[in-house]
Amino acid sequence: MQRLIPALRQQHVSEGLISVLHTLQTASKEISFRLHQGALAGVLGSTLDENIQGETQKKLDVLANQLLKDMLLDCPHVAAVASEEEDSYVVGAADGDYLVAFDPLDGSSNIDINGLVGTIFSVLKKPADSDAANMFLQPGDAQVAAGYMLYGPATMLVLTTGQGVDMYTLDQTVGEYLQTRSQIEIPAETSEFAINMSNQRHWQPAMQRYIGDLLAGKQGPCEKDYNMRWIAAMVGDVHRVLSRGGLFTYPWDARKTDKPYKLRLLYEANPMSFLVEQAGGLASDGEQRIMAIQPHDIHQRVGVILGSRSEVQRCLDYHQD
């Protein structure tokens, strides 16, 4: 089994980018350790604070965010970092070539029940001709690397540098990520979907019709039975899609007209879309490719429909109709 850094060098990844990815994997080992200590480390429960998204922060949200931020800003190749937990980006090395956007602990509501959580990250090149205020406002197609660390029964790193998707598992005996799957391909067909059904009454009519037809099973227009899965952590649901196929969606919601979408473009939708497309799937906001969207704000939110190519296309057909 190959270790992470030699595998990246075989892909001819630049030494600067390797340094950034090495920093991310090092931080993830510390986060994984704290998570697996659980109540023994005194890191469970919530703080009294809210993040920029208006969400109550878990203690581990704060810890993971600080670990990633401090370690990335110490990397000489990182020009700036942007976190879902903070209101603005933070400048790093003046000569750094890379920008890192991250969700330090996706699915943090699962922490206190020992459920799946993860770290999602996106790496961009620092543009030479952009002013500092807009350097993160690049479409997903500009990403040079993206991935996530999944903290479950095993800690895993799932990564793309634009040359397919590889999976690594943290070997606790040597403290290294070892490649356990390479060149992941998402099956085009599926009979599994992930969506928060409790919000059904708030969706657009197109999504309501689509999900309704899935639930109709063999007797409906899709002519097959479907299973629904919902982990309540995007990182876990997307990992299942990458591992065995499926569709994941977090659609438009009518309850908040100023915030009709849940997921953030820079920290969640873009990196996950990069992974899914590299594995042969599709990723859309319902109208266009997610990675073609030009961001206007670092905390911009979007609708997400991603996964197995044929099933995502079926869902999009409902929206186009």
Express each pLDDT in 236-291 by its tens digit: 999 999 999 999 999 999 888 778 899 999 999 999 999 999 999 999 999 999 99
Sorted by sequence, the CB contacts under 8 Å of residue 185 that are 6+ apart come out as: 279, 280
105 labelled binding-site residue: yes
284 in Cβ contact with 305 (< 8 Å): yes
Which of 123, 151, 181 corresponds to the end of one domain? Answer: 181
Q: Give the number of domains in the chain.
A: 2
**Same-domain check for residues 66 and 122:** yes
Whole-angstrom Cα distance, residue 271 to residue 310? Answer: 21
198 labelled binding-site residue: no
Position 186 in a domain? no
Query: Domain with 152 in it: what CATH number?
Result: 3.30.540.10
Is the pLDDT reported for residue 42 higher than 80? Answer: no
**Same-domain check for residues 201 and 314:** yes
220 labelled binding-site residue: no
109 labelled binding-site residue: yes
Position 187 in a domain? no
**Same-domain check for residues 83 and 108:** yes
Of 7-21, 48-62, 100-114, 120-134, the range with the highest mean pLDDT is 7-21
Instruction: Count the Cβ atoms, other than its own, within 10 Å of residue 304.
Output: 25
Position 135 in a domain? yes
**Same-domain check for residues 56 and 93:** yes
266 labelled binding-site residue: no
268 labelled binding-site residue: yes
**Same-domain check for residues 173 and 205:** no
Express each pLDDT in 49-82 by its tens digit: 555 555 556 688 889 999 999 999 999 999 999 9
First to last CA, the chain: 48
137 labelled binding-site residue: no
84 labelled binding-site residue: yes
- What beta strand segments (E) does the chain contain? 46-50, 56-58, 78-83, 90-91, 98-106, 117-125, 143-151, 155-160, 165-171, 176-181, 192-194, 227-228, 247-250, 263-264, 282-284, 301-302, 304-307
What is the domain extent for residue 22?
Answer: 4-181
4 labelled binding-site residue: no
30 labelled binding-site residue: no
